[in-house]
Amino acid sequence: MRRRPRPRRLRDVLLLTIASVGAAACAGGPPAPAAPVAGVRPDPGWTLRTLDGDTFTLGELRGRPIFVNLWATWCPPCVAELGSIERLAENIGPSVSFVLASPEDPRVVREFVRRHGLAVSPVVEETLAPEAFGASALPHTVILDAEGRLVLRHRGAADWDTAEVRALLEALARTDAR
């Protein structure tokens, strides 16, 4: 009986991405995006709204790596991974932009934040997430380099505060600072 091959796990993809980013950083060139998203640039015009009512676009965040998490308050896996995203943001610091984007009404998200006391302030989508994100379900996470190129795309919940993810983001921040 032949077994089906196991799909790549987040850890495997992260290790490959870290290796390619690290090699690029050592070579002094731009980071090499991980397959299968090499060269993909999401629409920089994706518009988001803060819970205070200010709007901004994805393109305005260029200049440092961006961690984007698409989530919703009604999604148990989304809520479950928020703690690890907050720890990751705290451990990484301001060298990476964190965007936690919900498609919900701002009042719903604001009440969720009030009840759960999130440190990373979520935003709401004014326009649909770029197709390049490949988001067909929540939660969905993408990491972009400072030039807005997709580096990693992950569907489903994950523990984001891991050594592998921190190493990837730190390598992107170092490379992008050049």
CATH number of the domain residue 65 falls in: 3.40.30.10
- Give the Å distances, CA to CA, from 65 to 4, 5, 51, 95: 36, 32, 22, 7
Report the number of distinct structural domains present in the chain: 1
Average confidence (pLDDT) over 146-156: 92
Rounded Cα–Cα distance for residues 32 and 78 (Å): 28
Residue 175 maps to a domain? no
Average confidence (pLDDT) over 62-81: 96
- Domain containing 116: what range? 34-161
- Give the Å distances, CA to CA, from 119 to 19, 23, 165: 31, 33, 19
pTM: 0.78
How many C-beta neighbours within 10 Å does residue 142 have? Answer: 25
Residue 133 maps to a domain? yes
User: In the structure encoding, which two tokens stand for residue 3, read together?
Assistant: 């077994």
Element (DSSP H or E) covering residue 143: strand 140-144
Residue 15 maps to a domain? no
Average confidence (pLDDT) over 152-170: 93
